[in-house]
Amino acid sequence: MQKGSSWIVLAAFAPALCSCHHAPRPKWSAASAQEAAAALPPRVWTLEQPPAAGENAVIQEWRRRYDGWRTGTLKDYPFEPRNAKPEPVDHTGIGHKNGKGEIVTEEAVDIPDRSIHETEPWGDKGCVWPVRNRWSMRWEEEFARWMSTEVDADYLARYNIPVDCADAPYALRWIFARIHYLPQGAHNVYGAVFGNWNTRFANLPHAVDWSQDMRFRAALDYVMSQYVQGRSIPYDTYPIALRPEAGALRPGTVVADKNHLRIIHRIVPNAYRPVRHLSATLPSKVRTLADEALSAATPCNGVGWGIVDWSWWDYDFARHRYRRVPDRKMPGFSLEQYDNRNTEIPAGLIHTLYRRALPATGAEGVYARVREMLEDVCVAIRMRKDVVEAGWAYYKDRPKDRDKKSRPYDDFSTPNRDTRIEKTYEEVRKTAARGGMSERQLRAETDRISIDIGEGQSMSLTEFLELLDAGEVSHEPWDPLYRRWGLKRPMD
């Protein structure tokens, strides 16, 4: 058995649903959470009692913070001071100005006075993992180093972790937090949260090695299947400054639009397009992630989307629970990327800002840049193939299912994906033209690239791009495979 392969059995704890779009579930509300919390028995909190003999270093450090909060001297506390009346929850929509005249950047979450998420700062017995460290810039820098040196496109596949587009960034953040015992949570689209403090899987054994930790692996499967969705992002991240001197855009930050998530894993200063990211697609499965350069074909859906970083989780002493740190208290917070109301990520500008060497000139340099960009086109087509085949597997035996408002249609149709491929290739054409490469020379490059379209068939990249441009390529998920690739008859 390969390392990690036993975790497929944990599906009993977490149904294998796609986490971009989950099956409907009852809507969470603060009222229902308050009702559940009201039934909780009173607790005795360690920090509210005199120090016990032999307290370990972790408790001692938390006691120091608690005493600072109690006396009003804790300077890095991100929540309301002691005895301060909590401000009412601001339900102003993201992107709109609230009563203070501030642009709202995070989804509102109602936090009851008492909560089923109450926990000791270091975690209760049976929690997914205990907390031994707090998020800080030092840990963010370590996360960036880990992403760029230890994570590659096959990292999740090596441990048999099935992911789709929303899961992949979350899975990597959770694994890092588990390795270093940092607090970590995730919201669903209704504001309900699941975090490492949860004791749902207390019956499962814990191990030092995260990959062999049955409790963590079950919790990771559960949070990805039941909580994480692409539209969870405005709950769990915040917008950042893009300028290199701000230090906020680094490996580990997320590139997010409403249809797709990517996580930056490398910045290669000497490359023509230095900012690269990893991503997955539908359906959820064990897979090699797509490794691509940041593309101008990536839409920007406004405030709360774009290039965002993970919010920290910190302990609220008044509510005895972990909460997400407010956006405006996070390092690197900025609204500058929305200033020009761009409809797409300013990828060209970002690459220029992070490039530390002038691109090679002359024909050799142009060809190198074009070939690098064509590889990204091919990666996008390979991801499309996965979606096309999954869609056909679903629809071929469901001839009456043609609902364009259904979740399967949203999952397996490819209009946005096909448009991104066209836009990415248009970037290639512009780069080639600027470098003096003729259309004939560019065609020679695409002619020599063969793409796998399934069932043992292939076509040249030139042929596929021409069929796509002519409108022959179908994005309808129920069309047979040959139509999905723009062919007039079935493949032999």
DSSP characters over 346-413: -HHHHHHHH--SPPPPHHHHHHHHHHHHHHHHHHHHHHHHHHHHHHHHHHTT-TT---TTSHHHHHH-
Identify the domain containing residue 164 by its residue range.
5-22+59-84+117-338
Same domain, 194 and 250: yes
Rounded-to-integer distance, Cα 135 and Cα 309, Å: 13
Same domain, 293 and 333: yes
Mean pLDDT over residues 421-450, rounded? Answer: 94
Upper half-sphere CA count for residue 298 (Cβ side, 13 Å): 25
Beta-bridge partner residues of 333: 240
Which residue in 464, 461, 480 sits closest to 472, CA to CA? 464
Task: Convert the pLDDT of each residue in 399-416 to its tens digit.
Answer: 999 999 898 898 899 998
Same domain, 284 and 151: yes
pTM of the model: 0.86
Q: Which residues contact 216 (CB under 8 A, 6 or more apart)?
A: 128, 129, 178, 206, 210
Same domain, 210 and 143: yes
Same domain, 453 and 417: yes
**Residue 31 maps to a domain:** no
- Looking at the predicted structure, is the pLDDT value of residue 467 above 80? yes
- Looking at the predicted structure, is the pLDDT value of residue 8 above 50? no
Considering only residues 344 and 426, tell me which one the structure prediction assigns the higher pLDDT. Answer: 426
Percentage of the chain exceeding pLDDT 70: 90
Mean pLDDT over residues 105-120, rounded? Answer: 83
Quote the pLDDT of residue 10: 38
Same domain, 248 and 368: no
Same domain, 466 and 380: yes
Structure tokens at 182: 């940092």
**Residue 492 maps to a domain:** no
**Residue 93 maps to a domain:** no
**Residue 98 maps to a domain:** no
Quote the pLDDT of residue 170: 97
Same domain, 373 and 322: no
Task: Convert the pLDDT of each residue in 288-319 to its tens digit.
Answer: 999 999 987 788 888 999 999 999 999 999 99
The DSSP-derived string for 113-148 is SS-TT---TT--TT-SS-------HHHHHHHHHHHH
**DSSP letter at 285?**
B
Helix%, strand%, coil% for the chain, nearest 5: 40, 10, 50
Assess contact for 264 and 254: CB atoms under 8 A: yes
Q: Which residues contact 61 (CB under 8 A, 6 or more apart)?
A: none
Total structural domains in the chain? 2
Same domain, 75 and 136: yes
Quote the pLDDT of residue 111: 80
Rounded-to-integer distance, Cα 141 and Cα 148, Å: 11
The gap from C-alpha 443 to its chain's centroid, in whole angstroms, comes to 35
